[in-house]
Amino acid sequence: MSESIFTPGADVVTARGRGTVVDVRATPSGKFVFGVEDVDGEVTYFTEKAVRLA
């Protein structure tokens, strides 16, 4: 498990660029996915492995 904490409002970097965490959800398998809003206002969901703090 990662030691990073992703909460709404956190600035992050993904493969698609920088963004802000706007949503955190648990999947049925017990993993978390993070909704990241980019500069264009598009929200994309990523797993913890695909997101890192900016």
pLDDT in tens, 1-51: 455 788 999 999 999 999 999 999 999 999 999 999 999 999 999 999 999
Q: Is residue 21 part of a domain?
A: yes
For residues 11-48, one letter each, b for 16 or more C-beta atoms within 10 angstroms of the residue's C-beta and e for the rest, the string is ebebeeeebbbeeeeeeeeeeebbbbeeeeeeeeebee
Domains identified in the chain, total number? 1
Q: Is residue 28 part of a domain?
A: yes
**pTM (predicted TM-score):** 0.85
Q: Is residue 1 part of a domain?
A: no
Q: Is residue 2 part of a domain?
A: no
Residue-range definition of the domain harbouring residue 42: 11-53
